[in-house]
Structure 1
Amino acid sequence: MAKPTLRRALSLPLLTLYGLGVTVGAGIYVLIGATAAKAGIYAPVSFLVAAAVVVFTALSYAEFSTRYPLSAGEAAYVDAGFARKHLSLLIGILVMMSGVVSTAVVSIGAAEYASRFLTAPSFVLLICVVAAISGLAIWGIFESVLLAGFITLVEISGLLLVLFVGWTNISMDPGRLPDLIPPFDSSVWAGIASGALLAFFAFIGFEDMANVAEEVKNPRKTLPRAILLTLILSTILYLAVVMVVVANVPLDQLITSAAPLSYLFSGETAFLYAPFGIIAILATLNGGLIQIIMASRVLYGLAAQGHLPSVLSSVNAVTRTPVLATIIVGSVSLGLALWFPIEELAAFTSLMVLVVFFTVNLSLIRVKLTRQTRQAQQDIFVIPLWVPILGAVAAVGLAVTRLI
């Protein structure tokens, strides 16, 4: 009997919704407050800096994903450039751990939003959140991503609601907008740079699409388009939402909350508090679901490539998902969520991903400078050499802000 394999079920719309689900749900619903604690009212600029860092690496992933459309894609990318199994394993583990820690971050946010409606202890809410998203990830890739895609549309509608309410308030006092432009002051820009490291977490997600490549229809054509669409759409949403939130919510309230967007619904818009709270819970659950899917596929991919014990590459014959890998990822995420604060987890995730981005960009530089570039493969998405060079430099630059 043939060994069960992953199912190719993801089209461009589903894959783009998958990417948007993890970026939008994981970042904007949870980390505006933490970013504002560093950058103050200039948090939108921090998000813009983070987007500028991400764009070069996104293009590098777009090319690599067409060269090597595999689960645990980053490990395969690094192996192609450096041919060092230990380095490939390290990068694969970092990617998996970024997904694990991201799941913990988003689970904390989901539990925080849920606590506005439920009186259960926070640890009970966290356990329920992680158990729910782990079960959905085990259910099946088509079913879980289809559900995630639907929830993504719901969470985007929540952000549009935030924009409507927030912009209505700003339009009553347009004099607030110029206050969001930072002065040429070194201390202000140091805060913006530090905030950009946390804002960077909000863009983590486009690279997750590379790790479900074995479940994508026509991956060489679909993956680059989905990666770029995800980045463009999420950047537009982020900048608009962060601008209206910092212009409307007092900083002392914003910087202390893991559920920051809920503060926008008070006074005349208080009747929207409950509907938005439900949307926010779904959004954060969605981000956790997609991160668990990604991390479990990396664990599966590393085992399938021979880096880890083969039992981790087992696929359930009924669900066609890596059940054991998913359970491990969910369990570790729960432990982190119970023991560490959200800001530390987000910053740690960002640093891990920046190390991965730096290494992937270096690997693409090496690949493009070898004979592999001269191979006649017309179905490869090709970018200029200067793109991964800038991607590597930008990743190092943002990581250094941790020392500021």
Structure 2
Amino acid sequence: MSIHRKRNKTLGLAELVAIALGGMVGGGIFTILGVSVSLIGNLTPIAIIIGGLLASLAAYSYVKLGLYYKDEGATYSFYKKTYPNSPFSASAIGWFVIFGYISTLALYAYTFASYVISSTDFANNIWIRKSIAIAVISLFTLINVWSVNGMGKIEDLMVYTKLVVLTIISIVLMQHGTTNFGTFIDNMVIDAEKSSIFSILIVASITFVAYEGFQLVINAVSEMKNPEKNIPRAIYLAIALAVVIYVVISMGALFAIPTDEIIKNKEYALAAGAGKVLGSLGTNLVILGAVLATSSAISGTVFGSSRQMAVVAEDGFFPNWLSFRKNNIPINAIISMAIMSCVLILIGGLELILEFGSITFLLVSLLMAIANYKIRLKTNSSKTLTSLSIFGLSIGGILILYYEFTHKWEQMLIIISLYILLALGAWLFSKKRSKKLE
């Protein structure tokens, strides 16, 4: 079932975990923190853990399908091979997933730029911010085009450094904050009385966004050592580490920063809180952590999604020139994703595009669970776990759509329009491919 391409097996477990964490621990946790605290206050760490469990359920089907098919096309290829008689469906998923990655890539770069200039006189200069965002995408595009092994080593350094920096900051905030552990627990009890289970589950569904990225491991199947062991190890270990770092970050913020300040400042709350507790050193450390987080997210996303785009192009659902490889690196796909992300940065509206990406990845994860259930005997999957994945992801999808419609219905209408446009593009290419086959 695997694709037979001669590749250098250069990526070990450490690099694969770094790729997954690079895709997950990006700008998401900083943005989600403010939304979560505004809805459920000190119960945020509990929602983050539930979101991690939901991500683990989603990962179960990705791991099983990844081991069975061993195809770097990942999400797209799994669906295409499981439902071989539905070319339009495969094409649509390819389009949705790739453009979901392009939107998150643009957001990571924009967040990177925001933190880089946040303590300078240019903090509010939109064009300097956009210029820096485009520059950082260009940098990691060159790195990915240059060398797979070089990208893996740089990703290792950025990911593991950012985890250390963010953990140290969060622990120091917990120790020096105005709230002690006893008060924190008391506040949790108060928030539990005010918040419903429904609200906690909504936040957990929104938090799922912060775990997208573990799928990028499977995109590297042709360049990894021992995929049978390293795919499950890398994905589950990365999700577990992400849960720990997210919980520590959220508790650090809640211990040191008043909840109204977290809600007001949102993704900059941790930097503001660190500045009050530790002075300029704290602010600079948070900025360093955020810059490393977004940098590794950009690198990991460019690496994994470009390989998926090349596979979709090879099958005729994107222009064929996007499948071109040099030294087994999909150069045209990498450059094209970078260009489209830069266009999105210039146009603006990144918050809207992020919402599109968030909903896309949750719903696509549900489709992967359904596909795995269909061939569960071939993938040697547990019927109970696969059914639980479908149920959990369905509930998560319903809850996030409910939240979007009740809080940002205008954005949802635009997102639906985007889906229609992408579906049209997917349909045109699927028709073109069918004519060629005939």
TM-score (norm 2): 0.82
1:216/1:100 Cα in 2 relative to 1: closer, same or farther (>3 Å)? Answer: same
1:209/1:198 Cα in 2 relative to 1: closer, same or farther (>3 Å)? Answer: same
Structure 2 stretches of 5 or more lacking a match? 404-438
Amino acid at match of 2:220: V
- Partner residue of 1:168 out of 155, 175, 181: 175
Q: Secondary structure at the match of 1:31?
A: helix
2:105 paired residue number: 103
Q: Determine the C-alpha separation between the residues in 1 that align with 2:199 and 2:345.
A: 26
- Partner residue of 1:200 out of 208, 219, 224: 208
Q: Contact 2:42/2:184 (CA < 8 Å) preserved in 1?
A: no
1:361/1:91 Cα in 2 relative to 1: closer, same or farther (>3 Å)? Answer: same
2:166 paired residue number: 159
CA positional deviation for 1:172? 6.2
- Partner residue of 1:310 out of 312, 320, 339: 320
Q: Secondary structure at the match of 1:199?
A: helix
Q: Contact 1:101/1:336 (CA < 8 Å) preserved in 2?
A: yes
Q: Mean alpha-carbon deviation: is it higher for 190-199 or for 382-391?
A: 190-199
Q: In the TM superposition, what are the counterparts of 1:339-378 in structure 2 within 5 Å?
A: 339-341=347-349, 343-368=351-376, 372=378
CA positional deviation for 1:7? 3.7
Amino acid at match of 2:353: L
CA positional deviation for 1:327? 1.6
Amino acid at match of 1:362: I
Q: RCO greater where, 1 or 2, for CA within 8 Å and sep 6 or more?
A: 1
Q: Contact 2:27/2:290 (CA < 8 Å) preserved in 1?
A: no
Q: In the TM superposition, what are the counterparts of 1:40-189 in structure 2 within 5 Å?
A: 40-83=41-84, 84-118=86-120, 119=122, 121-170=128-177, 173-178=180-185, 179-181=187-189, 182-185=191-194, 188-189=196-197
Q: Determine the C-alpha separation between the residues in 2 that align with 1:31 and 1:116.
A: 19
Structure 1 stretches of 5 or more lacking a match? 374-381
Q: Determine the C-alpha separation between the residues in 1 that align with 2:48 and 2:238.
A: 15
1:229/1:268 Cα in 2 relative to 1: closer, same or farther (>3 Å)? Answer: closer
CA positional deviation for 1:170? 4.9
CA RMSD of aligned residues (A): 2.4
- Structure 1 residue 389 and structure 2 residue 387: aligned? yes
1:261 paired residue number: 270
2:235 paired residue number: 227
The C-alpha deviation readout for 1:103-147, integer Å capped at 9, x for no partner, is 122122211111124426322222222222222222222111210
Q: Contact 1:25/1:284 (CA < 8 Å) preserved in 2?
A: yes
1:100/1:384 Cα in 2 relative to 1: closer, same or farther (>3 Å)? Answer: same
1:295 paired residue number: 305
Paired residues, number: 389
CA positional deviation for 1:53? 1.4
Q: Contact 1:26/1:102 (CA < 8 Å) preserved in 2?
A: no
Q: Secondary structure at the match of 2:318?
A: coil
CA positional deviation for 1:59? 1.3
Q: Contact 1:23/1:234 (CA < 8 Å) preserved in 2?
A: yes
Amino acid at match of 2:87: K
1:403 paired residue number: 402
The C-alpha deviation readout for 1:40-78, integer Å capped at 9, x for no partner, is 333223312211211112111111111111111112211
Q: Secondary structure at the match of 1:124?
A: helix
2:13 paired residue number: 12
